[in-house]
Structure 1
Amino acid sequence: MPAFSPGTQVGENQQDHPTHSHKKMIIALATASAALGLLILSLLCFWIYSAKYPSKSNRKKVPTSSDAEKGLPLAPFLSKFSSIKMVGKRGCLPIIDYKQIEKGTNNFRESNILGEGGFGCVYKAQLDENLDVAVKKLHCETQNAEREFENEVDLLSEIHHPNIISVLGCSINDDTRFIIYELMQNGSLETQLHGPSHGAALSWHMRMKIALDTARGLEYLHEHHKPAVIHRDLKSSNILLDANFNAKLSDFGLAIKDGSQSKNNIKLSGTLGYVAPEYLLDGKLTDKSDVYAFGVVLLELLLGKRPVEKLAPSQCQSLAMPQLTDRSKLPNIVDAVIKNSMDLKHLYQVAAVAVLCVQPEPSYRPLITDVLHSLIPLVPVELGGTLRLQQVTHTQES
């Protein structure tokens, strides 16, 4: 018996009508499928175009999360002040006329000094009637000083974050270099904690806010800036406070970009008491070195004491370790200014975080992101955390 293909006529009267209906159905289905495919393709093209070229109204109304996180650079802000004379640019950073720096600092008068560093002083200056700034004066007779100036200027000109100091410009005069920053009205954390007021302006919640701000700045450097940045000189004197006690990281002269050079062959730098043991003893540098320094700062905020100088970090660390891990002794060693003013559970949590951060073995230390998330619930909503004060039962003062 011969085989039959789908289109073979079997009998003219019996198969003619069903075959034509079948063909019409196939044609209709093919047409509908083609139309549907065209519609889907059109919608896909429109979506891709909209994503790549958003409308002007959308771009204005919906800022990206990265823009919101980075904040706005302050360098263009200078153009609003007609009296500020700029003589050039270094990358995207304005170079301000030296004579204006000299005039703004009252010829570098001693009464204008805000602080002192390894290579020079920081002065308060007025570049315009309505613009007070801080000016770091660096004596760059050595290659190290020149390298730190270039490093800080290059790094800060590309970093814009609410918890990292903003650089407004720079200036050059012979062997002297100047970096102009936003003015931080409440000085450094070191001055607030260990200066004449001995931390009187820093309540428990304000200290936790400062710790959280510092962690946010570090997290940006470690996790969000590409390539990652290791600060390498985090300490209380390099954490600056604005008029509202918002904390910002400063002094990036020693900072390095991850991968920019071999981290195991970097000249030892930093401040004793804050330097991680593995870096001090073996020269090994990682982001966990910054975490160690953060832990020391957290201990300063808790205890109100300076790190022990001229001792190995392991000795410095063991000084308060037994009391920090003993819940019965911990409330008795905290700074007298904040004693009995916090929820004890919160105190134990912060002490536990500090102990983890200053572990001698780097792998035992948490990432700064983990530290950040542990601090957020301890900071009141109005100070940037998630804690609602009405839900907290404070320990009553004895």
Structure 2
Amino acid sequence: MSCHEAHQRAAKPVCSVCNNRRPQFERNRKKEFSYAELCAATQGFSPKNYISEGGFGSVYKGELSGQKIAVKQHTYANQKGEKEFKSEVDVLSKAMHENVVRLLGSCSEGINRLLVYEYVCNASLDQHLSQHSRTLLDWPDRVKVADGAAKGLLYLHENNIIHRDLTTNNILLTHDYNALLGDFGLARTVIEDSSYSTECVGNTGYMAPEYAEFGKVSIKTDVYSFGVVLLQLITGMRAIDKRLGARSLVEWAKPLLKERNYAHLIDERIIISHDVRQLFWMVRIAEKCLSRDPQRRLNMIQVVDALTDIVEGRAVRKFSRISLNQICEKNINTEQ
């Protein structure tokens, strides 16, 4: 491939609707921005440019040298805040993948700690799954989002990075529903196949049992969180949803999964658009990610392979002779 062809491929828009192009930069090349530059880029962190409030600070959109950017004002009140800031810079400066948000640089000036990301144009998965969303995320797009997010997480795990805070809020979407993982304030680089103990932080609805109870972290804690995300794509509910009372989404879904009562899991908004055979396999993947025993959970290679089977139709063909109604019955033989 020539340099010109490589550049053309790299410059392909990440979103066909708004024609957003990914910024090009070298791996491990971090740019240091001045506070004045970022203040100007966001029009003084104007409320009209406000995007969201993350776990570690507010995020604003802006424009710098013609490039759309997102600027996170990192909460920096103590030593712990500084640690999270450095963690996000260190992890993301090494990450270059189509399903991971790119870090363009940072600002450490006085008490200010800011991170500069590429701008992802179509909000978070959480906003699209909300009951108040103006747009319906139909079944094919949910499958696409699951596939992209899984590939992003696999990339992190192959590079010995644990995200530790995988939620629908931290999965950002383009208008083409390409998924990009973001918000790496809790991410850590670890020795391959290792685990460690730490203070329990993050969203309780996504926490693996061993993390919530003992503070034990490994790549399998991310897998559990991904299983929760899959349940959300299937049900349209939040990990902690007021419609479920005191129960988390996982607590509510476990009896239905055990009884193979998959029909009661389906988000009523996708009744028309969903493919019931694809849904069956998606539920099975989620169930295997949510095993209480970390050793019994899938790894992300297996998850990506299974989702690819769904996307490319191989999983569906395995059930070509089974009626749609049978797949949703309680007593389906899952080994057929």
- Pick the TM interval, shorter chain: 0.7 to 0.9
**How far off is 1:263 after superposition?**
4.2
Once residues 176 and 207 of structure 1 are traced to their aligned partners in structure 2, the CA distance between those partners, rounded to angstroms, is: 38
Structure 1 residue 117 corresponds to structure 2 residue 20: no
Which ranges of structure 1 fall in alignment gaps of 5 or more residues? Answer: 1-57, 78-90
Structure 1 residue 181 corresponds to structure 2 residue 106: no
Once residues 252 and 264 of structure 2 are traced to their aligned partners in structure 1, the CA distance between those partners, rounded to angstroms, is: 15
The one-character-per-residue Cα deviations of 1:10-51 (angstroms, maximum 9, x if unpaired) are xxxxxxxxxxxxxxxxxxxxxxxxxxxxxxxxxxxxxxxxxx
Q: 2:257 aligns with which of 313, 320, 324?
A: 324
Once residues 146 and 286 of structure 1 are traced to their aligned partners in structure 2, the CA distance between those partners, rounded to angstroms, is: 23
1:167 to 1:386, Cα distance in 2 relative to 1, 3 A:
farther
**How far off is 1:171 after superposition?**
1.6
**How far off is 1:229 after superposition?**
0.9
Once residues 63 and 4 of structure 2 are traced to their aligned partners in structure 1, the CA distance between those partners, rounded to angstroms, is: 35
The one-character-per-residue Cα deviations of 1:215-237 (angstroms, maximum 9, x if unpaired) are 101111112x2xx1111111100
Cα contact 1:205–1:380 (8 A) shared by 2: no
Q: Give structure 1 regions of 4+ aligned residues with deviation exceeding 4 angstroms.
A: 58-63, 313-316, 385-388, 393-396
1:138 to 1:62, Cα distance in 2 relative to 1, 3 A:
closer
Structure 1 residue 131 corresponds to structure 2 residue 67: yes
1:195 to 1:181, Cα distance in 2 relative to 1, 3 A:
farther
1:12-51 equivalence runs, <5 A: none
Structure 1 residue 191 corresponds to structure 2 residue 127: yes
SS of residue in 1 equivalent to 2:88: helix
Structure 1 residue 333 corresponds to structure 2 residue 269: no
Name 1:74's counterpart in structure 2: 23
Which ranges of structure 2 fall in alignment gaps of 5 or more residues? Answer: 15-20, 326-336
Name 2:216's counterpart in structure 1: 284
Q: TM-score, normalised by structure 2?
A: 0.81
Name 1:363's counterpart in structure 2: 295
Structure 1 residue 343 corresponds to structure 2 residue 275: yes
Name 2:108's counterpart in structure 1: 172
Q: 1:102 aligns with which of 18, 22, 39?
A: 39
Higher relative contact order (CA 8 A, sep 6+): 2
1:220 to 1:119, Cα distance in 2 relative to 1, 3 A:
closer
The one-character-per-residue Cα deviations of 1:153-198 (angstroms, maximum 9, x if unpaired) are 1111111000100111112332121111111111111111116317
Q: TM-score, normalised by structure 1?
A: 0.69
Moved more, 200-209 or 285-294: 200-209
Cα contact 2:153–2:300 (8 A) shared by 1: yes
Q: 1:211 aligns with which of 146, 151, 159?
A: 146
Once residues 394 and 164 of structure 1 are traced to their aligned partners in structure 2, the CA distance between those partners, rounded to angstroms, is: 38
Once residues 126 and 247 of structure 2 are traced to their aligned partners in structure 1, the CA distance between those partners, rounded to angstroms, is: 22
* Structure 2 residue identity aligned to 1:172: S
The one-character-per-residue Cα deviations of 1:32-86 (angstroms, maximum 9, x if unpaired) are xxxxxxxxxxxxxxxxxxxxxxxxxx785998xxx9xxx9983539xxxxxxxxx
Cα contact 1:277–1:314 (8 A) shared by 2: no
Count residues in correspondence.
308
The one-character-per-residue Cα deviations of 1:331-355 (angstroms, maximum 9, x if unpaired) are 2431122114223222111111111
* Structure 2 residue identity aligned to 1:213: G
**How far off is 1:387 after superposition?**
8.5
Cα contact 2:106–2:115 (8 A) shared by 1: yes
1:309 to 1:342, Cα distance in 2 relative to 1, 3 A:
closer
Cα contact 1:75–1:93 (8 A) shared by 2: no
* Structure 1 residue identity aligned to 2:162: I
SS of residue in 2 equivalent to 1:219: helix
Once residues 348 and 136 of structure 1 are traced to their aligned partners in structure 2, the CA distance between those partners, rounded to angstroms, is: 39
Name 1:143's counterpart in structure 2: 79
* Structure 1 residue identity aligned to 2:274: M
Once residues 168 and 129 of structure 2 are traced to their aligned partners in structure 1, the CA distance between those partners, rounded to angstroms, is: 9
